[in-house]
Amino acid sequence: MTTPHPDHDRGLEFDLSTLLSRRRSLGVLLGAGTAAALAACTPGTGGGSASPSSAATAAATATEGATAAASPSATSTVTRAFAECGVEIPEETLGPYPGDGSNGPNVLEASGVVRRDIRSSFGTSTTKAEGVPLTVTLTLLDNANGCAPLAGAAVYAWHCDKDGKYSLYDSGIENENYLRGVQEADANGQLTFSTIYPGAYNGRWPHIHFEVFESMSNTSAAGQVLAVSQIALTETACKEVYATSGYESSARNFPNTTLTSDNVFGDDGGIYQLATMSGSVAGGYTAALNVTV
């Protein structure tokens, strides 16, 4: 079985020099304090006054249940609890195919990159990436301001196609720029991308890359990146999608990597980055994630 990208997403150390030149300094990780934050914030754990709002608690409980929230496994409830308590999204590798100018082409300087629907290429090509529809919504939260919505920030998102290939880089699609785009957060700190469900390739759990910038005007400015991270997709949705026609290579590759063996999410099983997902193959899927920066 072949591996599409033998050096793909080898972890933060692989492109640390690039990241350090483009990001703000990271805070000290909370260590034991993180566990305390989880106990205080997770619905159903009796954390007391530090718990999230009643609305957030109700939504999280309805999604996964209090029992799931108390579990150490990666669930959307735990992800939400960490985000709402102010734990910042983990910094992750850009990977070798970001297309942001740090490793070759820079799609961020191209006219047309600001768009909600990222399924098609723009510019000299209108080729459309085929696959099961996926709607991705991110809610940006300002950690320095009590997790208030980070209105006006911008997100650049990109991911592989159904065959695990990346536009701008992989053979045969070097002149395509589909599955890449930029959106601005609204007053609620939210932004949405319409895309397709990404494929699975050996060595990685199915994921979506993203960078958070201070504003739309800073999306191509060095030093203005607030966060670089990745969204992990759920096992249930992956199994359903990869059982369909067109995702044959993903069906073969997906069983080879787990969340805990993934070289990006494996350190914590994706607990901070696992999306809340719903939908079906016939109707398309939705994925949502709170992103504290």
Question: Per residue in 88-125, pLDDT tens?
Answer: 999 998 999 999 999 999 999 999 999 999 999 999 99
| pLDDT band of 202, cuts 50, 70, 90 | very high
Q: How many CB atoms lie within 10 A of CB 135?
A: 16
Q: Is residue 43 scored above 50 in pLDDT?
A: no
289 vs 293: CA distance, rounded Å? 13
Q: Is residue 169 scored above 90 in pLDDT?
A: yes
The two structure tokens encoding residue 129: 């990436």
Calculate ∠ Cα 186-271-154, nearest 5°: 20
- Backbone φ and ψ for 272, nearest 5 degrees, come out as -90, -10
Beta bridge mates, 193: 136
User: How high does pLDDT run on average in the chain?
Assistant: 79
With a CB cutoff of 8 Å and minimum separation 6, the contacts of 33 are none
Long-range contacts from 46-55, C-beta under 8 angstroms, 24+ separation: 50/85, 52/80, 52/81, 52/84, 52/85, 53/84
Q: Is residue 213 scored above 70 in pLDDT?
A: yes
CA distances from 266 to 259, 260, 272, 274 (A): 6, 4, 11, 12
What is the share, in percent, of the chain residues with pLDDT greater than 70? 70
**Residue 166 in contact with residue 97, Cβ under 8 Å?**
yes
Calculate ∠ Cα 105-118-193, nearest 5°: 120
215 vs 151: CA distance, rounded Å? 9
**What is Dmax (Cα atoms) for the chain?**
56
Return the SS3 of 194. Answer: strand
| Exposure string for 220-251, b = 16+ CB within 10 A, e = fewer | beeebbbbbbbbbbbbebbebbbebebbebbb
What pLDDT, on the 0 to 100 scale, is given for residue 8?
A: 52
**What is the pTM (predicted TM-score) of this model?**
0.77
100 vs 224: CA distance, rounded Å? 13
What pLDDT, on the 0 to 100 scale, is given for residue 14?
A: 38
The pairing of strands 207-213 and 225-232 is antiparallel
What pLDDT, on the 0 to 100 scale, is given for residue 220?
A: 72
Tens digits of per-residue pLDDT, 50-74?
A: 333 333 333 333 333 322 332 333 4
Return the SS3 of 169. Answer: coil
